[in-house]
Amino acid sequence: MQDIRLGNTVIPNGVMLAPMAGASDYAMRTVCRAHGAGYAVTEMVSAKAMMYGDRKTAALAAVRDGDVPLAVQLFGHDPETMAKAAGLTASGEYAFSSSDHAPAAIDINMGCPAPKIVKNGDGAALMKDTALIERIVSACVRAAEPHGVHVTVKMRAGWNGCRNAPEAARAAEAAGASLIVIHGRTREQMYAPPVDLSVIADVKRAVGVPVVGNGDIASAADAARMIDVTGCDGVAIGRGALGNPWIFREIGAFARNEEYTPPTVRERCLTAISHARLLVADKGERVGVFEARKHFAWYIHGIEGAPACRDRIMRSATLSDMEAAVLELAERYE
């Protein structure tokens, strides 16, 4: 495993936290960075909403102190709108607060399979039109490059039965993309069956820019296998980091040929609490508590006694009640 460079930005060991709607927010990125994630990508941000000055959209696109290097992921299908959004983000004009920084990259979402996204021609729907991909990437590069900000893309294997990722990757590279992230499933496959490593290998052979593989990485062994089999330059970890930010520490230890010690039950529980506190601090008690429920469930999954604890968490209305339930679980293992 080797570092990937985007100009002055380094992606340590070629490992990044992948964008995940409803999950890879500021709180999660902060926790993952504390455990070794050196590069991350925001949740997807609507380029169209950015044009209307939506405050919630601005919060999603914020690059805050300590949360760097960070790529801001944009979704949309109109080249002009995407370019305007990329320029605003790269220049810092769309800053959410005075402490915001320019992103390391603008990442173009060409992989989201959600029906509400693709029905509008966004996300994975872009895989149907490689000419449009080239126009969008080219427009974003022209808008972001003067500010020293790279443009990257995250794509899928293809649109349903058409596995055209190599062609899409070549179009993106020709338009100026600096890095390609490829999820080894088509839009139709969503998150099953197992990721197809062959399509990642095909993309790697098709382009000269760094290629990062994505899908089904839940351990250092999974990451190493993907790199060995496909020849890709790095890996993007999404669902494998949910409730398991230590995966970045594990991969880092593997890269350095060091022994890795998994977290104890108590460490898992205390980290879950820290994560929830970050959510509440960032989004307020009501929203933070609501969103913390799923994260608590991910952190305690597989621990004996977790089902009863999870039930208490789901019925809790305050963060303190959630913390009490998780601490009680942790005390069983002291």
Angle between helical axes of 220-230 and 247-255 (0-180°, round to 10): 60
Encoded tokens for 137: 């990437």
Q: Kindly state the DSSP code that residue 126 receives in the 8-state scheme.
A: G
- Whether 140 is a known active-site residue: answer no
End-to-end CA separation in angstroms for the chain: 36
Q: Which of 177, 89, 167 is nearest to 137 (CA)?
A: 177
Q: Is the peptide bond before 19 cis (omega within 30 degrees of 0)?
A: no
Catalytic residue among 32, 112, 140, 269: 112
Q: Which residues of 59-90 are buried (b: 16+ CB within 10 A; e: fewer)?
A: bbbbbbeebbbbbbbbbbbbbebbbbbbbbbb
Cα separation, 215 vs 18, whole angstroms: 10
Residues labelled catalytic: 112
